[in-house]
């Protein structure tokens, strides 16, 4: 191949045919916003990876906190306790909706929590046929103790971060929870999965 032909091939490569513009030969190149979209996608991917990593840490902290207090309690069962703690007595169907599970799954979870003495079933004051599920004192104590353990472990991690990193993280997490339509926590407890 001649030097001229080789030069022409290079021009048609990454820079596009004789334009001298990086990436001009790529589909979508030269369109306004194409590079911004690629950068935005990369940023989204980086954030998603960081959140998945942080989520793994948060789940591990939760699992350790629960196991230290109540060995047989599962994360989904703890979520049910937190919902009942934060929102009060609830009908089974409403509880299933809040937990994003089928009513039959919520019923099995409730049965196990009743057997453990952490929740009980009571007739609704408005209708004798309607049953409401509520926390027992033991269930409330589990939520409070697990939450305190989680807060302590999270506080120890946060304390190892620089002040500027903490401020940035608070702002980022508030934006993230707002984008996910999670209501802001107004009190320090129970701060579980309500």
- The DSSP code sequence of 138-172 is HHHHHHHHHHHHHHHHHHHHHHTS-HHHHHHHHHH
pLDDT number for residue 30: 55
Q: What is the pLDDT of residues 158-184, one digit of tens each?
A: 999 999 999 999 999 999 988 988 777
| Domain-wise residue ranges, the chain | 55-180
Of the candidates 74, 101, 99, 82, the residue with the CA atom closest to the CA atom of residue 190: 82
Q: SS3 string of 83-140?
A: HHHHHCCEEHHHHHHHHCCCHHHHHHHHHHHHHCCCEEEEECCCCCCCEEEEECHHHH
Domain at 55-180: CATH architecture: Orthogonal Bundle (1.10)
Mean pLDDT within 31-59: 85
- Which DSSP state fits 15? T
Q: What is the pLDDT of residues 14-44, one digit of tens each?
A: 444 444 444 445 445 556 566 777 778 888 9
With a pLDDT cut of 70, the percent of the chain lying above it is: 77
The answer to which of 10-19, 76-85, 144-153, 171-180 has the lowest mean pLDDT is: 10-19
pLDDT number for residue 170: 93
């Amino acid at each position: 191949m001649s030097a001229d032909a080789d030069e022409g091939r290079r021009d048609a490569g990454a820079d596009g045919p004789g334009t001298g513009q990086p990436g001009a030969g790529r589909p979508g190149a030269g369109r306004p916003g194409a590079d911004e979209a690629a950068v935005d996608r990369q940023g989204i991917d980086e954030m998603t990876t960081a959140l998945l990593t942080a989520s793994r840490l948060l789940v591990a902290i939760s699992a350790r906190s629960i196991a230290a207090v109540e060995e047989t309690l599962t994360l989904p069962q703890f979520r049910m306790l937190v919902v009942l703690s934060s929102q009060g007595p609830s009908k089974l169907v409403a509880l299933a909706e809040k937990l994003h599970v089928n009513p039959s799954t919520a019923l099995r979870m409730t049965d196990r929590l009743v057997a453990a003495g952490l929740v009980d079933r009571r007739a609704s004051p408005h209708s004798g046929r309607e049953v409401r599920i509520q926390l027992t004192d033991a269930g409330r104590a589990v939520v409070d103790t697990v939450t305190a353990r989680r807060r302590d472990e999270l506080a120890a991690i946060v304390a190892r971060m620089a002040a500027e990193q903490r401020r940035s993280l608070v702002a980022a997490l508030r934006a993230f929870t707002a984008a996910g339509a999670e209501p802001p926590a107004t009190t320090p407890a129970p701060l579980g999965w309500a």
